[in-house]
Amino acid sequence: QVQMAESGGDSVQAGGSLRLSCIASGFTATRKCMGWFRQAPGKERERVASIYWSVYGVGGITRYADSVKGRFTISQDNARNTAYLQMNSLKPEDTAMYYCAAARADNSNCLDFTYWGQGTQVTVSS
């Protein structure tokens, strides 16, 4: 059984940084996508970043929402089955519940995710 667990959410001031972590327990795949999504009250869920990895030698293909490019960085540690989201230069509009997701993937587009975490709250004050 796959279990996803996020951590690292907090309240920070604008301009600050946070690092979110996500452990995907029980998740194994030769090709996989892990991603971070966020949802603010009254808004639709938004894909923030994703990363694709393959045991066949392809790794670290990342994609970002335009709103976070240059500020957020997604990475993963395959040995620990963990994904990270480093968030710098945070803005009040980054305030949301952040969710981690994972899926076995056929390509690096990372459009569909199967497993989801419960979320971790990020609040950025001005």
> Which residue, 115, 64, 123, 69, is CA-closest to 91?
123
* Per-residue pLDDT tens over the stretch 105-123: 988 899 899 999 999 999 9
The answer to whether 52 touches 61, Cβ cutoff 8 Å, is: yes
Site of tokens 């993937």:
105
* Per-residue pLDDT tens over the stretch 22-67: 999 999 998 999 999 999 999 999 999 999 998 887 678 999 999 9
What is the pLDDT, as a whole number, of residue 45?
Answer: 96
Site of tokens 């045991």:
55
What is the pLDDT, as a whole number, of residue 106?
Answer: 86
What is the pLDDT, as a whole number, of residue 54?
Answer: 87
Structure token digits, residue 17: 């940084």
Pairing mode of beta strands 59-64, 11-13: unpaired
pLDDT at residue 94 is higher than 90: yes
Structure token digits, residue 125: 């004050």
